[in-house]
Amino acid sequence: MKRALPAIALHALLVVGALLTLAPLLWMVSASFMPTGQANTFPPPLLPSRPTLEHYFDLFTRLNLARTFANSVVVTLGITLSSLVVNSMAGYAFAKLRFRGRDAIFRVLVAAMVIPAQVGMMPLFLMVKGLGLVNTPWGVMIPGLAGVFGIFMIRQFALSIPDELLDAARIDGASEFRIYWTVVLPVLRPILVTMATFSVLSAWNDFMWPLIVLSDDRRYTLPVALASLVGEHVQDTELMMAGSVLTVLPVLIVFLVMQRSYVRGVLMGSVKG
């Protein structure tokens, strides 16, 4: 029995930890099904007394969150597609193509990772205004269309492509782009999947820049709409929880499906310390 004690204690801690971690999310879901006003009673309830979908209906009818959901989808897909295409080409080039200035330019890009995004936000806003893209999905997507982090990660992965493979294709007379398309991309698929997952999560959850750029509630993305709703509807706990569930569910699903790939990406970005 003494030998089992550490195991029991350990698992007890793990379970308690898991409950504490999941508790806010579980309550969020539970409260979203509570009838109006139940969440603001004392003592605080854990489960709905009479589960109802009325808040979800409210979100889609009165508050038109379907439109907001669509906005989030559009922006997320746009950013993900763009950054995948653009970053993977650049990442591959930095890894495997020989050209003058390659290492110098790459070093400049890596150094730029130190600069926080906020530093350029005001001029970027004015630039987006000049392009007439304030309050549009393009305006929201602009800072995310390409990124140094993505280039860095893809380059890291692409370094492992054997040069012989590429040289063989070159000897066969294939153009660089054809080599990229037919030989390199299939090899890059795992990292592309990982970067796509990162990008989807990060674009869906982005708050500050969409908050700055969007002023029309028809164009809000989900995080901005939520923040706006909580200003007017702070007493409507159950409604806000339904909104939160709607926002969190898609990324949670994407994460659970793409877990392995995502975790691999997290570790890849950190392994060298």
Partner 1 sequence: MSALTTERRQQRAAWGFLAPALILIAVFFFVPVIAGLVMSFTDYDVYAIGAPDTIRFMGLRNYQQVLADPEFWHALRNTLYFVVVGGPLSVLASLSAALLVNAKIARWKGLFRTIYFTPVVTTMVAVAIVFRYLLHPRYGLVNEGLTLLHLKPIDWLGDPHWSMPAIVLLAVWKNFGYNMLIFIAGLQGIPEELYEAAELDGAGAGARFVHVTLPALAPTFLFVGVMTMIGQFQIFAEPYVMTQGGPLRSTVSVVMLMYEQGFRWWRMGYASAIAFVLFVIMLIATLIQMRLQGEGRRP
Partner 2 sequence: MTLRATARARVRATVAFAVAALAVAALAAGCAARGGGTTLRFWAMGREGEVVQQLMPAFEREHPGVHVIVQQIPWTAAHEKLITAYVGRSTPDVSQLGNTWVPEFTALHAIEPLRPWLASSTTLDSTKFFHGIWDTNVIDGAPMGVPWYVDTRLLFYRRDVLRAAGYDSMPQSWAEWKQALRAMKRVVGPGKFAIFLPTNEWNPPIIFGLQAGSPILKDDGTRAAFRDSAFRAGFDFYMSLFRENLAPSVSGNEIANVYQEFARRYFNAYITGPWQLGEFRNRLPDSLQGAWATSPLPGPTGAASGVSLAGGSSLVLFRASRAKPEAWALIEYLARPDVQLEFWRLSGDLPGRLEAWRDTALTHDPNTRAFGVQLERVVPTPKVPEWEEIANRLQDYVERAVRGTATPDVVLAQLSVEVDRLLEKRRWLHGRALAAGSVR
Instruction: Name the site residues for partner 2 (rule: CB under 8 A).
Output: 66-67, 69-70, 73-74, 77, 125-126, 128-129, 132-135, 139, 189-190, 193, 212-218, 228-229, 231-232, 257-258
Residue 119 interacting entry, from partner 2, partner 1, none, C-beta within 5 to 8 Å by type: partner 1
CB-hemisphere CA count at 13 Å for 212?
19
**Nearest distance in Å: CB 184, partner 2:** 15
Query: For partner 1, which is the closer residue by CB, 53 or 115?
Result: 115
**Nearest distance in Å: CB 93, partner 1:** 4
Q: Both tokens of residue 43?
A: 């003592």
**Nearest distance in Å: CB 64, partner 1:** 18
**Nearest distance in Å: CB 105, partner 2:** 32
- How far is 252 from 256, CA to CA, in rounded Å? 6
Query: For partner 2, which is the closer residue by CB, 102 or 218?
Result: 218
Of 148, 158, 152, 164, the residue nearest 188 (C-alpha): 158
Of 191, 202, 205, 201, the residue nearest 265 (C-alpha): 191
CB-hemisphere CA count at 13 Å for 17?
6
Query: For partner 2, which is the closer residue by CB, 19 or 122?
Result: 122
Peptide bond into 35 cis (omega under 30): no
Residue 42 interacting entry, from partner 1, partner 2, none, C-beta within 5 to 8 Å by type: partner 1
Residues 136/219, Cβ–Cβ less than 8 Å: yes
Query: For partner 2, which is the closer residue by CB, 63 or 153?
Result: 63
